[in-house]
Amino acid sequence: MNDAQSKIYDILKARGIDAENADGIKEEDIPEASERFSKLMEIYYSMKVTADMEIPYWYNRLWWENDGDILEVRRARAVGGAYAHSTPTVLPYEKLVMSKTKNFRGAFPFPWVCASFFNSLAESLMNEVDAPAESEADAVSVVGAGGGNVTESYGDIISIAKKFGMRKEEIPVLVKVSKYWEGISVEDISDKYAQMLPDYDQFKRNMDAVVVMFDSFAIPQGREVINYYMPLQYGFDRIIQLCDEKINETMGEAGEDGILGMSRGYYYAAMKEITAGLSKWCDNYGKRAEDLATREPDEEVRANYLEIAQVMHNVAHKRPSTFREALQMTLCCHLGVVNEDPQSGQSIGRLGQVLQPFYEKDMEDGITTDEEVIELLELYRIKITCIECFASAGVSGGVLSGNTFNNLSLGGQNYDGLSAVTPLEYLIVEAAMRAKTPQPTLSVLYDEKTPEDFLMKAAACTKLGMGFPAWMNNQTGMNFMLRQYGAEGMDLYDARAWCLGGCLESAPGCFMPLDYNGKVTMIPGGASPTCGTGIHFTGLPKILELVLTNGLDKRTGKQVFPPHNEKIDTYEQMVDLWKKYLDISNRIVNRINNMQMDIWRKYNMPAVNSLLKPDCFAKGQHIGNCGSRYNACINFESCGTITFINSLASIKKNVFDDRAFTLEEMTEALVNNFGFKTAYETNVFSPDFRESTESASKYDRIFAACIHAPKYGNADSYVDSLLKDYHMFMLHYLPTLRSYYGKPEYLCQISVSTHGPQGFVTLATPDGRLAGTTYSDGSVSAAAGTDKNGIYAIFESATVYDHSQNQNAQMNLKLHPSAVKGLSGTRKLLDVIRAYMRKGGFHVQFNVVGSDTLKEAQKEPDKYRDLMVRVAGFTQYWCEIGKPIQDEVIYRTEYDQA
């Protein structure tokens, strides 16, 4: 506090105004991150995203060497054996160790899931390998634009999927491994059977026109919450013993289940394999740390290596007996899961509640301090930030923006229905404030019972501009759980265990009894498979476009849907046609995605995750065999909701109510992009950029009417009621679709980054959006620049339906930093959050950053290497996201531009 401030307090105090306690206090300065963190982050910033072949090589070798064995055992042996063979890297500044691969930001391809991508590249990749070496000067890459992404080949490094760098000498290994899987990867087999469907062509046409943009097998796991209970409760050695006991009990016994009962024995045999693999993986890190210690000249560093060695050997065999060991154990399991499939959105869950008993005991025993715990949590952030996902270019760049959404949730309610916030969770937030990294992103499960000081701390973190914590409504989430999983026996207790899987996918959970420190603590964790595969990313505006064009995709000239050949005379008729096309798309896409996931679960069933996820171990069934407690988790995912709703409103108003022009005239204007150049021609994807063509004046009147039509987000019931109608329809329609688990589907509304690519293929829309530009982001954010009545009006519009009808709703807001300055600013931010939560809003997140800064960063990315922004449900480095999304974030309305 400076002199002027304290003087002001004195003056006010003398007047009976207690400002110091009331308001306006300067917030505490945020301490610097630890030295270890800073050193490792310095390395991080210079890291190239790297793919290598160690794990794929060993997976492939072990898979084929076990040819003929029971599939789940064969799979576990290949996964576990590959981990056990990977090279452990231990860096001198680390305390927590382990990573996906030997590299810092490493990943690897999964040709057994999807081989065609690599096989089609085989020849060109080998040509690159055979090309003569470049000069030495070319061997050095330029850091800057694109961050750590290797967008093109250089020197001895080959770019794959415009993101990963792979060393030339490993390319022949990639080519050779991929060859094994030609025609038999999950992708190939499911496609083979999909082709038996008469409507297969319809599916292909959907995908080619990008009505739907995603295959489920591309990232078959994730968008779920992991569960760390088993290893924390038992430790790996004891789990192996338990497997033996279970094998003794179940092998050869069908129990009551004549179909799956017999597979229990094989499940436990597989779990034994995978547990042994994880254990050896940990031991190897311990060995490497010991090895480095023998050659380390510095005594302090040597001691650190030996400490790491001890922790890793303990974690390899015993149940954790300190907070550090427990954290290391969760990290091991997390990496174990994310390494067994191409994955994003494998969420950490409510870690601060899971690990609280360990933290509490260490504090009681006086063997650690808060500062030490914060340091570990800082180092943990780097580990999670380094988790990369290797999928094809379209998936990792286009959909995920390079993020893997390892979400960590805070707050909510505990088993007893009280606030679940733990002392450790304050430290998790503190570590995130000090150690600025994009992952893990934090989510607050806001409940009326959540302590105010915790909310203030979380709001102070949100203000830092990293985009997290995001804020989710705990009651709305619990209500959705009971609604969706009630039929499977979800009760109030389990409903309390929910949290976010992936960026915004509410995932069911359960509490498990952790016996530690002389007491039993009910710890929450995930209890379902992925809550984020199914019919994914259906562009709602694109389907409307196809209704107007009689099913013909004007961009590609292909007939996507059968022509309806109807003259559309009423608004209702048009909406009915939209529903009809949506259903045509959904029926076939659902069946094919079901097949993809079914082939996946037969050949590529989760190994590590099937050990961890309740009730797999209790039932003796892996995740593919409905081993999880809850399985009604597969969904339909929408994209461009508000663009769609605004388009409906514009047509309803201009064509059917005002009769200002006909639907045919509107369609012609859309096809001609209202007379403007398209974003493809201009390469500017911002919605406010327009460059006219010769024919522009022809559409002036229609364009103006579209722009001036009612827009969602202004508390205007004309358009908001259309959003409500849409939701009521989806609520009853989607459960008529059944997943491969035989359960009803539901609505998921996270666009991730797909509003970029899906907007890219969509003509101009009746709301005045131009061709090729992004759709509105999220599901209840206003379309950029159309919210004229302020933040409270958006809240009003967003909550015209009950958010617990769906898995999620997404609200992105951009605030100017000056609006939330100081402690009173934190309060005001919390006021805004609370206001929305009270109205039943499910989710809100903030970019607290000025547009000026973003524009500068777009011009000079080098200077803004550490700038982070919130995109859809995640935080990413500005320099690592694509330009269309950058443009969209800049154009988003900023509140309180002081």
Partner 1 sequence: MPPAAHSPVKNMKAEDIRKPDMEKKGLIFDIQAFSVHDGPGCRTNVFLAGCPLQCKWCANPESWICKKHLMFAEKMCKYDHGCRACKDACPYGSIVITESEKPRINWEICKNCRTFECTGVCPNNVLKQCVKEYEPEELVSILRRDFNNWGAEGGVTFSGGDPMLQHEFLIEVLKDCRKWNIHTAIETSAYFPEEIFLQVMEYIHFAFIDVKNMDSIAHEMGTGVGNERILSNISALKASGWKGRLVLRQPTISGYNDSDENARQLIAFMQENDLFEVNLLKFHRLGTTKWEQLGKTYEYSDHGDMSDQRMKELQNIYLKANIACYIGDDTLF
Partner 2 sequence: MKHVKCVNFLNLDCEKGMCALSKAIVPIDGEGSDACQSYQPAPECGNCRHFYDGDKYGMGMCKGYEKENWAYATCGAFSCEKYESRRYQEA
Q: Any idea which residues carry the catalytic annotation?
A: 503, 505
Task: Choose the stretch contacting partner 1; rule: CB under 8 A; options: 377-385, 691-699, 737-745, 868-876.
Answer: 691-699
Restricting to residues 114-143, name those near partner 2 by CB under 8 A: 129, 136, 139-141
Size of the site for partner 2 (CB under 8 A): 54
Q: Which residue from 57, 110, 390, 405 is in contact with partner 2, where contact means CB under 8 A? A: 57
SS3 89: coil
Restricting to residues 3-62, name those near partner 1 by CB under 8 A: 4, 7-8, 11-12, 14-15, 17, 19, 22-24
Q: Which residue from 29, 124, 295, 366 is in contact with partner 2, where contact means CB under 8 A? A: 295
* Residue 835 sits in the site that holds partner 1 (CB under 8 A): yes
Count of CA atoms in the C-beta half-sphere (13 A) of 517: 15
CA distances from 483 to 5, 478, 480, 743, 836 (A): 52, 9, 5, 13, 22
Count of CA atoms in the C-beta half-sphere (13 A) of 440: 31
CB nearer partner 2, residue 89 or residue 559: 89
* Residue 379 sits in the site that holds partner 2 (CB under 8 A): no
Task: Choose the stretch contacting partner 1; rule: CB under 8 A; options: 1-9, 44-52, 90-98, 491-499.
Answer: 1-9
Beta-sheet pairing, 50-51 with 106-107: parallel
Residues 6+ apart with CB under 8 A from 206: 212, 560, 585, 588, 589
SS3 538: strand
* Residue 639 sits in the site that holds partner 1 (CB under 8 A): no
* Residue 321 sits in the site that holds partner 1 (CB under 8 A): no
Q: Which residue from 5, 116, 145, 176 is in contact with partner 2, where contact means CB under 8 A? A: 176
Q: How far is CA 599 from the centre of its chain?
A: 23
Phi first, then psi: give them for residue 463, nearest 5 degrees.
Answer: -65, -20
Tokens representing residue 833 in the block: 């959050």
Q: Which residue from 394, 817, 822, 840 is in contact with partner 1, where contact means CB under 8 A? A: 822
Tokens representing residue 895 in the block: 């509140």
* Residue 697 sits in the site that holds partner 1 (CB under 8 A): yes
Q: Which residue from 104, 181, 741, 795 is in contact with partner 1, where contact means CB under 8 A? A: 795
From the list partner 2, partner 1, none, pick the one residue 156 interacts with, judged by a Cβ distance below 5 to 8 Å according to partner type: partner 2
Question: Rounded to an integer, what distance in angstroms lies between the CA atom of residue 43 and that of residue 616?
Answer: 40
CA dihedral angle for residue 536, residue 537, residue 543, residue 544, rounded to 10 degrees? 140
Restricting to residues 19-48, name those near partner 2 by CB under 8 A: 43, 46-48
Tokens representing residue 443 in the block: 């989510």
From the list partner 2, partner 1, none, pick the one residue 166 interacts with, judged by a Cβ distance below 5 to 8 Å according to partner type: partner 2
Task: Identify whether the C-beta of residue 566 lies closer than 8 Å to the C-beta of residue 666.
Answer: no
Q: Which residue from 558, 838, 855, 863 is in contact with partner 1, where contact means CB under 8 A? A: 838
> Closest Cα partner for 374 from 364, 363, 365?
363
Three-state secondary structure string covering 224-265: EECCCHHHHHHCHHHHHHHHHHHHHHHCCCCCCCCCCCCHHH
Q: Which residue from 9, 41, 50, 325 is in contact with partner 2, where contact means CB under 8 A? A: 50
Task: Identify whether the C-beta of residue 784 lies closer than 8 Å to the C-beta of residue 845.
Answer: no
Restricting to residues 62-101, name those near partner 2 by CB under 8 A: 65, 84-92
The answer to whether the peptide bond before residue 866 is cis (omega within 30 degrees of 0) is no
Q: How far is the CB of 640 from partner 1 (least distance, A)?
A: 21
Element (H, E) at 637: strand 635-639
**Contact string 766-785 vs partner 1 (x = CB under 8 A):** --x-----------------
**Residues 333-337: contacts with CB within 8 Å, 24+ apart?**
333/226, 333/228, 333/231, 333/278, 333/608, 333/612, 334/226, 334/384, 334/406, 335/98, 335/99, 335/100, 335/387, 336/83, 336/274, 336/278, 336/281, 336/608, 337/221, 337/226, 337/606, 337/608, 337/609, 337/612
Question: Rounded to an integer, what distance in angstroms lies between the CA atom of residue 404 and that of residue 153?
Answer: 24
From the list partner 1, partner 2, none, pick the one residue 300 interacts with, judged by a Cβ distance below 5 to 8 Å according to partner type: none
**Contact string 342-371 vs partner 2 (x = CB under 8 A):** ------------------------------
> Closest Cα partner for 408 from 355, 469, 480, 489?
469
Q: How far is CA 51 from the centre of its chain?
A: 21
* Residue 165 sits in the site that holds partner 2 (CB under 8 A): yes
From the list partner 2, partner 1, none, pick the one residue 579 interacts with, judged by a Cβ distance below 5 to 8 Å according to partner type: none
* Residue 300 sits in the site that holds partner 2 (CB under 8 A): no
Restricting to residues 698-737, name those near partner 1 by CB under 8 A: 700-701, 703-704, 706-708, 715
Beta-sheet pairing, 635-639 with 534-539: parallel
* Residue 692 sits in the site that holds partner 1 (CB under 8 A): yes
- Single-letter amino acid code for the residue at 458: A
CB nearer partner 2, residue 54 or residue 887: 54
CB nearer partner 2, residue 140 or residue 196: 140
CB nearer partner 2, residue 43 or residue 184: 43
CB nearer partner 1, residue 669 or residue 748: 669
* Residue 304 sits in the site that holds partner 2 (CB under 8 A): no
Question: Rounded to an integer, what distance in angstroms lies between the CA atom of residue 548 and that of residue 483?
Answer: 36
From the list partner 2, partner 1, none, pick the one residue 574 interacts with, judged by a Cβ distance below 5 to 8 Å according to partner type: none
From the list partner 1, partner 2, none, pick the one residue 885 interacts with, judged by a Cβ distance below 5 to 8 Å according to partner type: none
Q: How far is CA 362 from the centre of its chain?
A: 33
DSSP 294-338: HH---HHHHHHHHHHHHHHHHHHHSPP-SHHHHHHHHHHHHHHHH
* Residue 61 sits in the site that holds partner 2 (CB under 8 A): yes
Task: Choose the stretch contacting partner 2; rule: CB under 8 A; options: 291-299, 458-466, 501-509, 832-840.
Answer: 291-299
Q: Which residues bind partner 2 (CB under 8 A)?
A: 43, 46-54, 57, 61, 65, 84-92, 102-106, 129, 136, 139-141, 148, 150, 155-157, 165-167, 169-170, 172-173, 176, 280, 284, 287-288, 291-292, 295-297
Q: Which residues bind partner 1 (CB under 8 A)?
A: 4, 7-8, 11-12, 14-15, 17, 19, 22-24, 690, 692, 694, 696-697, 700-701, 703-704, 706-708, 715, 768, 789-793, 795-796, 818-822, 824-825, 827-828, 830-832, 834-836, 838-839, 895-896, 898
